[in-house]
A and B are shown apart, each in its own frame.
Chain A
Amino acid sequence: MTNFLVDGKPCSAKPDENLLQACLAAGLDLPYFCWHPSLGSVGACRQCAVKQYANEDDKTGHMVMACMTPVTEGARYALADPQAVEFRASVIEWLMINHPHDCPVCEEGGECHLQDMTMMTGHAYRIYRFTKRTHRNQNLGPFIKHEMNRCIACYRCTRFYRDYAGGRDLDVFAAHDHVYFGRHEDGTLENEFSGNLVEICPTGVFTDKTFSARYARKWDMRGAPSVCTGCGLGCNITVNERAGEVRRIVNRYNGSVNGYFLCDRGRFGYGFVNAPERIRTPLMRGTDGKQTAVSRGDAVAHFAALLSAGGRIIGIGSPRASLESNFALRTLVGAANFYPGFSTHEGRLLSLIADILSSGAVHVPSLRDVEQADTALVLGSDLPNAAPRAALALRQAVRGAALALAAKANIPHWQDGGVRTVAGEALSPLFVATPAATRLDDIAHTALRAAPADIARLGFAVAACIDSTAPEVAGLPADVAAQASMIADALLAAERPLIASGVEAGEESIIQAAANIAFALRARGKPVALMLNVPECNSLGLALMTNGQAAFPAALAEPASLVIVLENDLYRRADNTLLDAALAATHLVVLDHSESPTTRCAGLVLPAASFAETGGTLVSSEGRAQRFYQPIFTETDVSAAWRWLGAAGSTAGNHDCAGWATEDDIVAALAHALPRFSALPSAAPPENFRNAGCKISSEPHRFSGRTAMHADRNVREPKPPVSADSPFSTTMEGYYGKIPPALIPFFWAPGWNSVQSVNKFQSEIGGALEGGDPGVRLLETRTEAALPYYAAIPKAFASRHGIWQAVMLPRVFGDDEQSARAAPIRDRTAAPALALNAEDAALIGAAAGQWLACALDGETLRLALEIHPELPRGVAGLTGLAAKAFALPSWVRLTLAGPGAS
């Protein structure tokens, strides 16, 4: 540690830390704008000025910017120096020259870093008397509002968007006090991380347009720690609620997972919670064939009667439902009758992934680990579309080479300008092998394009190059062999190599090849990490729970008297004709939160809670079990699926279901039943956790309108709801002090009203939260654990005359079933399309934009042709067809579709 003096008081910091970070870590309030823990220091805003003294005798000192100053042993600094104090107030005064002071109508108001810093410096009195410059704002699309007059030109937006997230369509224009941060012309911000501008911007230039539609002040909303359901990565989010609606999603810092940033799918895809197609009462099909609302009691009684009627009862679980609900269904129908709600093919892939990851044979990386990788291979996965936050982590990983170069030149890693000057375009090696172009290609050392089978063969060949005992690939062309050997050499030269693949690669062989590479590196003594991405928020949890069990389509092939479907639209997962037949021949009970083709088939539909009306536990692709909490408490029939299942089960006399009062009870039962989940109870504090005898308040202390907001229904103040499953009080009453990290409902600290207050909750700035990052990892490496090499190497891809191998090309917006229901996400969703390379298109005489007919799952799809010159010959890429992914892999015949054909 480095020891130094601030205003005469001894402080210490990690060696080489900058003074600003050191001061913030020491709990001192030093204002800043352009610095950000993830973006480093550039010294632009001049807000963090302090006096530095050369030695004991130096009485005058000189002004330095704390963010640009490495702390040195024995150094003396003064925050309280009168000139430094006056200068910092002057910086605010300059920033305020053109700032519109529209706080009352600004959506940043009350959680504005500029407000906080203004208060901190004490600048209060305006003497500037001339006109302010004004700007024209831009329409930046459905996610982000733009109000440039508020801009204080800290450059954080462009530094995040361009330097950190790799976006190209946001930049700074013009000069002097006319600098303008926007696009070259009006239009949607293209980068899938644009939503972070809302939090990166220290004031209200970029605000959340989806929030704007149903706006409330930060202090007027309940906060619930939650976990994003948009993909399998398990990014931590805070859900803000008021008056029974989700108002917005903001990032919830987790140093091991998402850090400071979310993707736009996760941030803006919450609209389905508030949507009209929500199911809010039980529905029973009457004799007229129509579903009509019934009472809660009637629904439970009917469900119990179906359970008691005997016959073959099967339960179909869900990769988007909590562990608790899945385990409740498993308990209700018995493990042998519980089937994971995956498509057959996806089930095979997930089963393979669960085998590999739970074997203990290889390290499963957190996103923080991904950021630390110094060489990475992405095998078959389009991560920017399938798991955007992981792609963002990889984008940081490749900066390792630049940081190493800078370190050699004695430039500290946080001195961003200096690092970029020294290292220029230096990137750590990243290899991407996918059928189609990805948005990681721009930072890839090599981006290879191949058909899935050839990607797998490349992977197997890399493994064989690394470890000669790994199976060889026969008949590999010389150029591919050379690529494999190059990649193998790079991985062997690395200190922290990373292999990434996932379900979206579409082929078991690719995942096996990725695993082989990881096994081979481990055999060579390398601390390798293997990231295998899964598509949904609890895919891995369900796969771990049902490992070895066939996916549901096999179960439906046999007649059943009752099928219970948990939070799942089976029509996205199996042959629709077969489903029609199977579901018509059985009693069908569906528990879900929104209408779907499956709920429309059901004899009984039970309104299950979405992630916003209950709590639960999800397992991310890292194998991290994380609890999410309930922000919405409304008096409807909506309740957690496990509660419906428990009520029906105990009514039907199933004693296993009788003892469930809270989530903790199911968690305990699950941890007991399946050793794999034994660590589950430590994912978060239990329901009976109390601090100073108090529950934790979920509403800020300034929450307003409590006695008025329901007055249209009843002028008496209603009794506040009770959160049955969590240690939260549902109101502002409760504990506000130090809160366990898994339970932080909002980041807020005295003097720090904005999201920047997160630095008050971290054990070190930019590191883990105080008390440890939330969640518990279920998958850890064991030294003795090993798996044999996979040896089923596929044959080389050969294009076939007249038919094409269809592969799914994932899309960040629209592929995920639930977020696709949100209007702003729909706005960003492109129409389904079919991609071919130019030669293949010429072969069938089709031009870009022309309609092609493509038979898939017994249905002829009419798709517009896109030319992707990089696609391998013989491969057809399908986009925007996630609901048809179950029908792949398959070979498709393509014909020109006449106008008007459907």
Chain B
Amino acid sequence: MEKPLTALIQPDGIPLDLNGYEQAGGYQALRKALTMTPEAIIGEVSRSKLRGRGGGGFPTGRKWDAVPRGADTPRQRYLVVNADEMEPGSFKDRLLLEQTPHQMIESVIISAFAIQASIAYIFVRAEYVLAINRLTRAAAQAEANGYAGANILGSGFALAIHVHASGGRYICGESSALLTALEGRRPIPRARPPRSASNGLWGKPSVVNNVETLCNVPHIITHGADWFLSLSHSTDGGTKLYGMSGRVKRPGLWELPLGTPLNEIIEDHAGGMQEGYKCRAVLPGGASSAFIMAADFNVAMDFTSVPKVGSALGTGNILALDDRRCPVGMLRSLEHFFAQESCGWCTPCRDGLPWVERILTAIEAGEGRPEDLDTLARHTIFLGSDFTFCDLAPGAMQPLASGLKHFRAEFEQHINEKCCPWHDSAGGWA
């Protein structure tokens, strides 16, 4: 089984330096890409059916293709890497940033060439200090060796790469808010139109891609779209970094073919649940995805199958809810995060999420009222898409809406018994 993204990760956790990376075949994809036309690269990426790994799953080739090309379009274009990984339960990009910094840099250069961007920003979560240091050094080495900067490898293509540490808020991971933050302003998501592809950073054509998404690009260039498609068990191409946390035996992160069944990840890779725990449900793609119940654990973890069981692939980083953990408490904890991370721009999110959190806190504390469930249900609709300005609140409503559906009995038990039934069980969040 090929693992292109993680193949070069060293057992000692020290990433390959420039020499090591070159000896392992690094920057060959870039040399090849520079002999291709940007259109050919975009065509190859489109054929590979690479889809965004940040949670949205938007086809990467299509995103790049939307950037205006031609003599009469703005010359300044930007490539922006969204490395602001803050989705609760997700830690996949961190691995790539810390362990394969040159792979990231090479991906950035090829992708920037594809959209003819002359400036690239890697917008990294502020707490990822190690990643920031390693990326900064890798970018400097790449430039010192002619892979970045002016006239890359004699091709005439120039690219400046900037590693930018986020000021730190979840909303900065929303791609348009990220651009606003990068411009030095309050990270408020932007109204569409315009699309970032035509008017993004500083109003210029821009592409914002997730770390894992871009790290696939050199491999697609090297091995071709057909090879990339062949890696997958799904109709979309490539491998996927799946992660799992919760009371499993081996929490961790694995590069597996896209479309690997959920129960295989839980049982084979995460080693199953710890002794004495059963997995009741999972959030398959981070905190902004809906619960998948145990009956559906045979679902293939890909972009098309997960929605069929009412959830989404998201980041592919799975959170397990076990049978000794209070689902209301878990939701309270998640909604606390979302309420705190609302940017404060639109009313439903800013003032609805704290209310949701307070109701969940009250229910967990045995102070819930039957009508609270109606209020929560109303919020799951009115904090949904179309009603709010961006996708933060709709994402926050995914676990709540599915939780209200699947754990209705537990909610009612809290309210009727005026206490948390899990109160005395082993608490804490593994």
Show the binding face of A for B, using Cβ within 8 Å. Answer: 42-47, 49, 62-64, 68, 87, 90-91, 94-95, 97-98, 127-128, 130, 152-153, 155, 172, 174-179, 405, 409-411, 415, 417-418, 421-424
Contact = CB atoms under 8 A, between A and B. Distances in A.
B350 A176 contact: yes
A152 B345 CA distance: 11
B343 A42 contact: no
Contacts of A175: 169, 171, 341-344
Contact of A176 (B190, B342, B371): B342
Given A409-B198, A421-B190, A423-B203, A176 B354 contact: yes
B347 A47 contact: yes
Contact of B348 (A94, A178, A418): A94
A153 B347 contact: yes
A418 B193 contact: yes
Contacts of A177: 339, 342, 344, 350-351, 354
Given A42-B191, A130-B355, A421 B203 contact: yes
A171 to B, nearest CB: 9
Given A422-B194, A422-B203, A46 B387 contact: yes
Contacts of B389: 43-44, 46
Grouping DSSP codes into helix (H, G, I), strand (E, B) and loop, the A interface class, with mixed when no group exceeds half, is mixed
Interface residues of B, number: 38
B355 A91 contact: no
Instruction: Report, nearest first, the 4 A-B pairs whose CB atoms are least far apart.
Output: A94-B351, A417-B191, A179-B344, A424-B203
Contacts of A424: 202-203
Interface in B360-395: 362, 371, 375, 378, 382, 386-389
Interface in B135-187: 169, 171, 186
B353 interface: yes
A411 B193 contact: yes
B199 interface: yes
Given A94-B352, A176-B354, A423-B203, A45 B347 contact: yes
B199 A179 contact: no
Contacts of B133: none
Contacts of A179: 344, 350
B343 A409 contact: no
Contacts of B355: 94, 97, 128, 130
Contact of A127 (B353, B375, B382): B375
A178 B343 CA distance: 10
30 contacts: A44-B346, A46-B346, A46-B387, A62-B386, A63-B386, A90-B382, A91-B347, A91-B348, A94-B347, A94-B351, A94-B355, A95-B351, A127-B371, A152-B347, A155-B345, A174-B344, A176-B340, A176-B342, A176-B353, A177-B344, A178-B344, A179-B344, A179-B350, A409-B194, A417-B190, A418-B191, A421-B190, A421-B199, A422-B203, A424-B203
B358 interface: yes
A782 to B, nearest CB: 44
B347 A46 contact: yes
B347 A44 contact: yes
Given A409-B193, A421-B191, 7 more contacts: A43-B191, A46-B346, A174-B344, A176-B344, A417-B190, A417-B191, A422-B199
A421 B200 CA distance: 7
B343 A46 contact: no
A174 B341 CA distance: 11
A232 B158 CA distance: 56
Contacts of A44: 345-347, 389
Nearest to B362: A130
B361 to A, nearest CB: 9
Contacts of A172: 186, 344
Contacts of A97: 351, 354-355
Interface in B384-414: 386-389
Question: Which of B202, B203, B339 has the most chain A CB within a 10 Å cutoff?
Answer: B203
Contacts of B362: 130
A176 B386 contact: no
A95 B340 CA distance: 17
Contacts of A176: 339-344, 350, 353-354
Nearest to B203: A424
Contacts of B342: 175-177
Contacts of A422: 194, 199, 203
A149 to B, nearest CB: 14
Contacts of A410: 193
A94 B375 CA distance: 12
A43 B352 CA distance: 17
A405 B347 CA distance: 30
Interface of B: 169, 171, 186, 190-194, 198-199, 202-203, 339-348, 350-355, 358, 362, 371, 375, 378, 382, 386-389
A63 B387 contact: yes
Contact of B346 (A43, A64, A405): A43
A94 B186 CA distance: 23
Contacts of A417: 190-191
A31 to B, nearest CB: 12
B336 to A, nearest CB: 11
Nearest to A99: B351
A155 B344 CA distance: 10
Candidate in B186, B190, B350, B352 with the most chain A CB atoms within 10 angstroms? B350
A392 to B, nearest CB: 23
A155 B389 CA distance: 14
A262 to B, nearest CB: 28
Contacts of A62: 386
A130 B355 CA distance: 8
B387 A87 contact: yes
A63 B186 CA distance: 27
A713 B351 CA distance: 53
Contacts of A98: 351
B1 to A, nearest CB: 43
Nearest to B384: A63
A405 B388 CA distance: 28
A128 B362 CA distance: 12
A776 B288 CA distance: 61
Contact of A46 (B190, B371, B388): B388
Nearest to A178: B344
Chain A CB within 10 Å, residue with most, of B190, B342, B344, B362: B344
Contacts of B371: 127
Nearest to A41: B191
A66 B346 CA distance: 15
Which residue of A179, A405, A415, A417 has the most chain B CB atoms within 10 A of its CB atom?
A: A417
B344 A46 contact: no
A63 B384 CA distance: 10
Contacts of B346: 43-46
B378 A90 contact: yes
A220 B347 CA distance: 34
A127 B358 CA distance: 13
A14 B201 CA distance: 32
A91 B371 CA distance: 19
Given A49-B387, A176-B341, A418 B194 contact: yes
Contacts of A415: 191, 193
B9 to A, nearest CB: 36
A179 B192 CA distance: 23
A423 B204 CA distance: 9
B418 to A, nearest CB: 16
A856 B212 CA distance: 74
A422 B206 CA distance: 12
A306 B418 CA distance: 95
A614 B178 CA distance: 58
B347 A130 contact: no
A42 B346 CA distance: 10
Contacts of A63: 386-387
Given A62-B386, A176-B344, A409 B199 contact: yes
Counting chain B CB atoms within 10 Å of each CB, the highest count among A155, A175, A417 belongs to A175
Tell which of B191, B342, B362, B389 has the most Cβ of chain A within 10 Å: B191
A409 B203 CA distance: 11
B6 to A, nearest CB: 35
